[in-house]
Structure 1
Amino acid sequence: MYDAVSDPYCYPGTTVLRNLVDIRDQATLDRYEAEVTAVRAEQPVPSGKLDHVHYSAFHRHLFQDVYDWAGHYRTVRIAKGGSAFCYPEYIEQQMVRLFASLQADDHFRRCSREDFASSAAHFLAELNSIHPFREGNGRTQLAFLTHLAEVSGHPLHLKRLDPAAVMAAMISSFLGDERQLRDLIDALL
């Protein structure tokens, strides 16, 4: 769970996020969220320009059945494991910067396999450090990366995905070491 102070996203006196079906038990909400986002993940992805607006559309698509703020940047400061993510007042600016860089790199279309793994790892590490949404960042990152990889000609084989390895690689990249993440992406190619 994320650390957040005075969180208007949660039901008063709890850490359970306000949701469209008014589930107030965290375990029940986790199950519901996992079920409905899994169904949405199997549907066609939103169309767009692989920019920050398109990225928000991915979040909206996945979480539209759970949260009324799906697709909108968070307005509170959050941290995980004592590490703070981008402050909300800078999210828009950092998302525009990151996705402008992605566009300047032609969405990694001209990359070799090795360069794609390295570039995608750096992009994902930066995106994770921004953590634009109150919840659902990891699933949105994976959905977007999968689409980006497909568009760039480097499709991912998600059956090889090990969630524990992804978490370890993301934590390592947050601390400045992108090697695990690069190797993980390379193994999915």
Structure 2
Amino acid sequence: MPLMNTKDYTTVDKIYCYENTDILKNKLGLKNKLGLKNKEELEKAERYITKLRQMDLEKIPIDGNFDLRHLKKIHKKLFHDIYYFAGESREVEISKKGSQFCYIRFLESQGNEILNKIASEDYYKNLTKEEFIEKIAILTGDLIHLHPFREGNGRTIREFIRELCLLAGYEIDYSKSLTSERLDAEILAYNCNYKKLISLLDIEIEKI
């Protein structure tokens, strides 16, 4: 079944959520038994704080090799103020509207397989823009399917891609496309249909 355009996971679990709620355990103390008002407050605070951390990363990107460790370091930077699990692989199976992400027993092996290719291909340097964009589209789809974290995968993946673009001599400006358009394109890429994402990347990415 196709991945749907929704933030909410179908998984409510005892590891990451407060008891009898779908609110993720957090460092901000935002919880209640019903999980309504405080869930909204948590999401609002999360957006605000991660924007600040994103600004930090734009000034000083993560020093890494674009491997799984690098991806985890980005997640930790973005979310360490909010979640105890920042920078750690998830320990539960998750899905969205019937679309299953990578099973936890394969997270490390599949993550390494996906990301180790980047170094083996010289970080996509010296490619034409068309070739580079195709690589980025496929990588994005693979990382969405991997979904290594309990929350914050999209923002982490986009920052990872932004840093990879810089290393390869490109800049990516996500504001050049509508959020809804990009999300739709990412959903298609999850299902190995890269055409729409490639079209958006052609607009978003420029040679430095």
Partner of 1:13: 20
SS at match of 1:42: helix
State yes or no: 1:41 paired with 2:54: yes
Structure 2 Cα separation of the partners of residues 32 and 183 of structure 1? 32
Q: Which amino acid aligns with 2:16?
A: Y
What residue ranges of structure 2 are gaps of 5+ in the alignment? 1-7, 32-37
User: Which one of the candidate residues 95, 106, 121 is aligned to 1:79?
Assistant: 95
TM-superposed deviation, 1:7 = 3.9
User: Which one of the candidate residues 146, 167, 170 is aligned to 2:186?
Assistant: 170
Decide whether the 8 Å contact of 2:65 with 2:119 is kept in 1: no
SS at match of 2:171: coil
Could you state the TM-score of these two structures normalised by the residue count of structure 2?
Answer: 0.88
Decide whether the 8 Å contact of 1:40 with 1:62 is kept in 2: yes
Structure 1 Cα separation of the partners of residues 170 and 66 of structure 2? 15
Q: Deviations over 1:112-170 (max 9, x none)?
A: 11011100000110011000000000000111111111110121123313211111001
User: Which one of the candidate residues 158, 176, 188 is aligned to 1:160?
Assistant: 176
State yes or no: 1:126 paired with 2:150: no
Q: How many residues align?
A: 189
SS at match of 1:76: coil
Structure 2 Cα separation of the partners of residues 123 and 180 of structure 1? 14
TM-superposed deviation, 1:5 = 5.0
Task: Kindly indicate whether structure 1 or structure 2 has the higher relative contact order, using CA contacts under 8 Å at least 6 residues apart.
Answer: 2
Structure 2 Cα separation of the partners of residues 56 and 41 of structure 1? 15
Decide whether the 8 Å contact of 1:85 with 1:131 is kept in 2: yes
Structure 2 Cα separation of the partners of residues 128 and 159 of structure 1? 20
Displacement over 3 Å in runs of 4+: none
State yes or no: 1:147 paired with 2:163: yes
- Percent identity of equivalent pairs: 30
Could you state the TM-score of these two structures normalised by the residue count of structure 1?
Answer: 0.96
What residue ranges of structure 1 are gaps of 5+ in the alignment? none
Structure 1 Cα separation of the partners of residues 114 and 69 of structure 2? 12
